[in-house]
Amino acid sequence: MLYHEVSCDAPCSSPPLMDTTTPTSRRSSGLLYMVGAAFFFSLMSLFVKLVGQRLPSQEIVLVRSIITLIYSYLAVRWARESLWGQRRGLLFLRGLLGFGGLSCFYFALTKLPLADATVIFYSNPVLTALFAAVFLDERLGPTEIAGALVSFAGITLIARPSFLFGDAASGLNLVYVGVAFAGALCAAGAYAVVRTLRDTEHPLVIVFYFPLVATIGSVPTAGFTDMQWPTLYEWVLLIGGVGLTAQIAQVLLTNGLHKERAGRAMAMTYLQIVFAAVWGMLFFQEFPDLLSILGALAVIGGTIIVARY
């Protein structure tokens, strides 16, 4: 997060911006791209959680950014596109927002249960729809607003702040919850910018700016943490796990957002919650309780409402 339509090892014969398929087939392929992105993002989260048991989260951001910057540079060169694009200010903004979202999400993954961190961070589809309505004139009415409120109520059930549920509530640390939600806001802003750029920029150029800005930003921020030299096992997780799966997911995501409306496309990312819950149970013995399950269902339900209308 190389390229033959959605893969990484061959040049693309024609850029996605010149797609001549019918609107219905473009929509179907856009949603399929988003399903694939959800799966690979869930794998990325799993690898971050595993390697984050010892390494600081910002060090993981730095290594992932460098790895995906190399992947992205090779992909753009292979596709024979200009590295810098046309709307450089917006491209830089996309990278900056992506860096903020990535830093917050990786930190939350190391501090919260995998499924809970994923649910909170992936409230960003609803936020994306709200941003798209404000900045891109994509329609949003009372029903969609109600869906957003349902999603936020679900996050409350997962976090269970003591001032609402009492001191006996076995909720999550609200600082970590707040970091995860801040990451969701950054990610939603980044996705809305991607939608703005879809008519002028090649998807691989948009993807390239993300690790470029993230690498520049994470060098000083990682320096303030207790950095550790990764073991061989951790290098495998970082390069073959976090870096590669993130690269694949970013390419799939960017293509999906080129072909489908922001709200509908981002609803597919909620499949990550299902994948994350499975990984959490298999690898970390993290079994969600009833309120967490109800909260997750509310978040998913609210997003479906937004996507449907």
SS (H, E, C) 164-227: HHCCCCCCCCHHHHHHHHHHHHHHHHHHHHHHHHCCCCCHHHHHHHHHHHHHHHHHHHHHCCCC
Q: Which domain holds residue 96?
A: 28-308
- The verdict on residue 15 lying in a domain is no
Within-domain flag for 18: no
Residue 7 resides in a domain: no
- Decide if 161 is inside a domain: yes
What percent of the chain is helix, strand and coil (3-state, nearest 5)? Answer: 75, 0, 25
User: Is 12 contained in some domain?
Assistant: no
Tens-binned pLDDT, residue by residue, of the chain (309 aa): 333 333 333 333 334 444 444 455 555 677 788 888 889 999 999 999 999 999 999 999 999 899 889 989 999 999 999 889 999 999 999 999 999 999 999 999 999 999 889 888 878 777 887 888 877 777 777 887 888 888 888 888 888 877 667 665 667 888 999 999 999 999 999 988 988 898 899 989 998 999 999 999 999 999 888 888 999 999 999 988 898 898 888 788 878 877 777 667 766 777 788 888 889 999 999 888 888 889 888 888 887 777 666
Q: What DSSP string runs through 27-84?
A: HHHHHHHHHHHHHHHHHHHHHHHHHTTTS-HHHHHHHHHHHHHHHHHHHHHHTT--SS
- What's the pLDDT score for residue 166? 64
For CA atoms 255, 256, 259, 261, give the dihedral sign. negative
In this prediction, residue 22 carries a pLDDT of 45
* Dihedral sign from CA coordinates of 97, 132, 262, 88: negative
Residue 5 lies in a domain: no
- pLDDT given for residue 101 in this prediction: 95
Distances (CA, A) of 8 to 85, 154, 256: 20, 37, 16
Residue 2 lies in a domain: no
pLDDT for the residue numbered 218: 94
pLDDT given at position 303: 73
Domain count, the chain: 1
243 domain residue, yes or no? yes
pTM over 0.85: no
